[in-house]
Structure formats: C-alpha cells, structure tokens
C-alpha cells in the first residue's frame, strides 16, 4: 500500500502548529497504525527531518497513551479499538490519512501529536481512592458482592483514561471518564464510605481543569475504545446530586 499522510506538527504549546505532508510507501496491511508511523519516522530520520512525535507504551490497547485523531475521529473510528490496535488493512491503497492530536484546552499540546493529559491524573487524585486496609490480599469471599454490581463495576473499571471521549465531545467534556472512575469505586462495598466525597471532589476538579459541560450527544460513547456506557454519566449525576443535597441538609 502507498499512502499519503497529513500530519499535525507543533513545536510546543506556544507554537501555532501546521499540517505537513509525508509519503508512506510500501505499507504492509498487517502493520498497526503506530508501526506505520515508526517506519515513516525511520525514513524521516534518514533524510535529516525531525521525526513525528507521538505517544505510545503498551501497544496492546490497554494503556491509553496512543492519543491521536485519525481522519477526524479519535483512534480512527474502528469500534472498540485504540490507535495502536488499528491495522492498516482498514485503509485503501492511495488513501490520504489526516493525523492530529486531541483538541481540548485541558489537554495542551506538548509536541506534534503528544498532549498533556495530567489533568486526568489530578481528577483521579482528587477523589479516586478507598480507605480500606492494604498490604495483604483479602479472602475472595470475605465481602459478598452481587454479580450484577461486580460486573457493572468491572465495566466501568475498563476505562483506560485515554481521553478520546474529550476529543470527540464538542464541549471537550470529561464526564464519561469521571463517571467511569466514580462508578467503579462506588459500586463495590470497599468504595462506598467515600462515595459522596469522591463524587463531589472529582466533579469539582474536572470543572477546575477547564473541561466543558456534557450535553449527552453520545459522541464520547461512540469513540471510547473500551465502549464505556453513557449510562455511567447518569449514575455520576445521581451520585453528585445526592451528595450535594445531603451536605446542604446537614
């Protein structure tokens, strides 16, 4: 396959940035998208051109660092798939592929396709904890949990914090991410003592970071590589509302 790339190049957050065109010849359909970029970068280095900066780590679809918008869709638009698990067989010979970073004020660009997502870390630190005893492994049956609740908690816990939901949202909302983190802890007994404080703290930190409001368009759910349900946003709204109401009564 012979492809053409339109890649966003940006020196740092103060640079205005621009698109540059590159050729990607002789691409194997069996390559992953990031492997294709690796080959392109090798060719750029050989011609003394600065390689394209992009994030990656596990390349197995579980770390969430491969944050890039491909042809206008976060992670390339293949359902339940991260950019590192997107294969070139999904494209056609002669295609032009446009590659951009996440576009959100709360995700400032470090360089090219790399954005700073430390705002997600600060949201998690604001309330993503439980105060149970640690240091030993509890008996698996010591705390009975209904299967439907444990399954739902695991569904929420699948969130890898990649930020695709923010990149897809017209308001750059982080509600899907926050709702998944709040829900997976509040659904199990170990996380219930802090559930009210957690919901309030994480939502307030989300607002402080500059993420936009949720208007429930569903674009976040559509691009989430782990297919986190929009229903968790409903749960977050309920958790937050009840916590605010209880605090106002007290």
- Say whether pLDDT at 132 is over 80: no
- pLDDT of 131 reads 75
Residue 123 — pLDDT band, cuts 50, 70, 90? very high
pTM of structure: 0.92
Three-state DSSP class for residue 87: strand
Picking from 17-26, 133-142, 144-153, 226-235, which range would have the lowest pLDDT averaged per residue? 133-142
Q: What does the alpha-carbon distance between residue 87 and residue 90 come to, in Å, rounded to a whole number?
A: 6
Superfamily of domain 3-111: Beta-grasp domain (3.10.20.30)
Picking from 53-62, 79-88, 117-126, 183-192, which range would have the lowest pLDDT averaged per residue? 183-192
Q: What is the pLDDT of residues 22-42, one digit of tens each?
A: 999 999 999 999 999 999 999
Q: What is the pLDDT of residues 69-100, one digit of tens each?
A: 999 999 999 999 999 999 999 999 999 999 99
Q: Where are the domains of the chain?
A: 3-111, 117-249
Q: What does the alpha-carbon distance between residue 22 and residue 16 come to, in Å, rounded to a whole number?
A: 20
Across the strands, what pairs with 70? 73, 99
Q: Residue 214: is it exposed, middle or buried by C-beta count within 10 angstroms (0-12/13-18/19+)? A: buried
DSSP 230: T
Cβ atoms of 113 and 105 closer than 8 Å: no
Picking from 12-16, 88-92, 154-158, 186-190, which range would have the lowest pLDDT averaged per residue? 186-190
Topology classification of domain 117-249: Fumarate Reductase Iron-sulfur Protein; Chain B, domain 2 (1.10.1060)
CB atoms within 10 A of CB 150: 13
- Say whether pLDDT at 156 is over 80: yes
């Amino acid at each position: 396959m012979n492809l053409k790339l339109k890649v966003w190049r940006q020196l740092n957050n103060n640079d205005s940035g621009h698109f540059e065109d590159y050729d990607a010849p002789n691409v194997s359909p069996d390559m992953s998208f990031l492997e294709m970029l690796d080959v392109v970068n090798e060719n750029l280095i050989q011609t003394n051109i600065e390689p394209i900066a992009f994030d990656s780590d596990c390349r197995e679809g579980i770390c969430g660092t491969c944050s890039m918008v491909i042809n206008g869709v976060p992670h390339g638009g293949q359902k339940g798939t991260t950019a590192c698990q997107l294969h070139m067989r999904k494209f056609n010979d002669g295609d032009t592929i446009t590659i951009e970073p996440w576009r959100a004020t709360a995700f400032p660009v470090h360089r090219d396709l790399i954005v700073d997502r430390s705002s997600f870390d600060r949201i998690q630190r604001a309330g993503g904890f439980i105060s149970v005893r640690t240091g030993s492994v509890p008996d698996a049956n010591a705390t009975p949990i209904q299967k439907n609740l444990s399954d739902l908690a695991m569904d929420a816990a699948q969130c890898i914090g990649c930020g695709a939901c923010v990149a897809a949202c017209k308001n750059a909302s982080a509600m899907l991410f926050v709702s998944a983190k709040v829900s997976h802890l509040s659904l199990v007994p170990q996380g219930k003592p802090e559930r009210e404080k957690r919901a309030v703290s994480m939502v307030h930190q989300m607002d402080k970071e500059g993420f936009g409001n949720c208007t429930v368009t569903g674009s976040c759910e559509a691009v989430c590589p782990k297919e986190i349900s929009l229903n968790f946003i409903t749960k977050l709204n309920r958790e937050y509302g009840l916590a605010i109401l209880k605090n106002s009564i007290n």
